[in-house]
Structure 1
Amino acid sequence: MNSSWVWGRICKSKYEMVAGYTNGKWNVQPDGHTPAGSYEWFRGSKPKVSWYKVVWNGWVIPKNQFMGWLIAHAALNTTSKLVGFGVDIENKCCICALAEETTEHLFCERAYSKRVVREVNKMTSWNYPECGVLNWCMERTGTMLQKGIQNAMMLSLIYQIWHQRNKYRNEKTLLCPERVAKHIIEEMRARVRGRDKMQMNLVDLEWLKKMNLFE
């Protein structure tokens, strides 16, 4: 029988699920069977990672979430990482050429990235440090909205710096830090505009105005 891979995998999963039953009863959930419970049992329990609330929150744009996921897994294909895989390329930073292109150099050490951070801080009254990425956001205080927006801004900043790196590498063009910062802020303003202001409390609204994100 020439069935598709998907159908074959479904059939295989059916037989694997048999291990969860004895005498016609679902052993894992004594009070009754649910699809969610079956999935959790089949997948196995996994501990929550410390960065999940930073990356997977509703204020973050999906493309920026993917960048955060890559950073958290140390999976960003910097030139240093590619050289480690055996790729024959120059591993110096393509913009400053002063150091190896590592994640730390890209987002914490390079002068261009620091200038972008300074501009965002200046335009929004934010206090994101020049030398910090995911760990800083995990230590934030404030309401859920405030922490969510700060996480989203941080991941937007990371995405835009990586985007500028790729643009310079391929086209030898680079936006000035001020324009990159403005793009990040406009991206966050658009996210705020898309939310129902009636569901925001006065503390959050005042904070948004202070951050120059509420029009």
Structure 2
Amino acid sequence: MDYKPSTNSSWVWKRIFKVKEDMVAGYINGKWNVQPDGYTPAGCYDWFKVNRPRVHWYKAVWNGWVIPKHQFLGWLIAHEALNTTSKLAGFGVDIEDKCCLCGLSEETTEHLFCDCVYSKRVITEVNKQARWDYHVRDVLRWSVQRTGTMLQRGVQSAMMMSILYQIWHQRNKCKNENALLRPEYVAKHVIEKMRSRVRGRDRSQMTIAEMDWLKRMRLVE
């Protein structure tokens, strides 16, 4: 308990020592007094971590149905950390801040996913092909309105995140390659990704009602 790292110790070793110093507060008379049953790694972790309320968007982003790279994009959007041209211009980058998908307005996150004419057409096509009723306005808050079973809520989240990812992907293609897919093809790609996601699941765990729901959305044959 009295050990001190030397000045030339590595950063990692100093961080480990810092954790040890923080843990000292949990010991009284040589005994761990944080949990009644004594020290456990899980109990120590719970003691260290900061208890913060869950954000409203976490179920839409962090669930097993959503593709990991789509999760990361959703996380960036939720934290307003997406590098739109409007944000980059605000940082002083010499760049055209118009939306390259429609050219009608400044490229903000809200415009790109909610107001852009191209994005609206993509969403309309997804709704048409999947027989869905998806509204992109206030995207991540929409997640609290998901309904149905755990499977249905997961599929809705995955579909939502896939749409966002494909819009952002097309935005990057437009800006970097001056190329853009027609909205109906983007929507078809979204549906195919979801069909592949569903095919990878154990159908024996799905109820008849859930299978009927997936068939109505054209995600299974």
Normalized against structure 2, the TM-score is what?
A: 0.92
Gaps spanning 5+ residues in structure 1: where?
A: none
CA positional deviation for 1:90: 1.7
CA positional deviation for 1:27: 2.6
For residue 60 of structure 1, the aligned residue among 43, 66, 69 is: 66
CA positional deviation for 1:26: 2.2
Q: Is the 8 A contact 2:85 2:107 kept in 1?
A: yes
Structure 2 counterparts to residues 145-160 of structure 1, below 5 A:
145-160=151-166
CA positional deviation for 1:28: 2.2
Please list the CA deviations of residues 69-100 of structure 1 after superposition, one character each: whole Å capped at 9, or x if unmatched. Answer: 11111111111111222222221112222111
- Residue type of the partner of 1:89? I
CA distance in 1, matches of 2:33, 2:10: 31
Q: Is the 8 A contact 2:59 2:143 kept in 1?
A: no
Q: Is the 8 A contact 2:61 2:157 kept in 1?
A: yes
CA positional deviation for 1:50: 1.1
Partner of 1:170: 176
1:199 partnered with 2:205: yes
Aligned residue for 2:134, secondary structure, equals coil
- Residue type of the partner of 2:199? R
Aligned residue for 2:96, secondary structure, equals coil
CA distance in 1, matches of 2:168, 2:23: 43
For residue 41 of structure 2, the aligned residue among 2, 24, 35 is: 35
CA positional deviation for 1:151: 0.5
Normalized against structure 1, the TM-score is what?
A: 0.94
Partner of 1:101: 107
CA RMSD for the aligned pairs? Answer: 1.5
1:138 partnered with 2:144: yes
Deviation above 2 Å: which 4+ runs of structure 1? 1-8, 24-28, 31-34
Q: Is the 8 A contact 1:92 1:99 kept in 2?
A: yes
CA distance in 2, matches of 1:28, 1:185: 50
Q: Is the 8 A contact 1:79 1:101 kept in 2?
A: yes
CA distance in 2, matches of 1:46, 1:130: 27
For residue 28 of structure 2, the aligned residue among 22, 30, 54 is: 22
For residue 81 of structure 2, the aligned residue among 64, 67, 75 is: 75
CA positional deviation for 1:25: 2.4
Partner of 1:84: 90
Gaps spanning 5+ residues in structure 2: where?
A: 1-5
Aligned residue for 1:15, secondary structure, equals helix
Please list the CA deviations of residues 94-139 of structure 1 after superposition, one character each: whole Å capped at 9, or x if unmatched. Answer: 2222111001110010110011101111111111025341122221
CA distance in 1, matches of 2:137, 2:60: 17
Identity level (%): 68
CA positional deviation for 1:30: 1.7
Q: Is the 8 A contact 1:118 1:130 kept in 2?
A: no
1:187 partnered with 2:197: no
Bigger Rg, structure 1 or 2? 2
Q: Is the 8 A contact 2:131 2:217 kept in 1?
A: yes
Q: Is the 8 A contact 1:91 1:100 kept in 2?
A: yes
Aligned residue for 1:119, secondary structure, equals helix
Please list the CA deviations of residues 153-200 of structure 1 after superposition, one character each: whole Å capped at 9, or x if unmatched. Answer: 000100110010011100100011111111111111111111110011
| Further displaced range: 205-214 or 127-136 | 127-136
CA distance in 1, matches of 2:50, 2:29: 22
1:212 partnered with 2:184: no
CA distance in 2, matches of 1:203, 1:33: 47
CA distance in 1, matches of 2:15, 2:64: 32
CA distance in 2, matches of 1:87, 1:27: 53
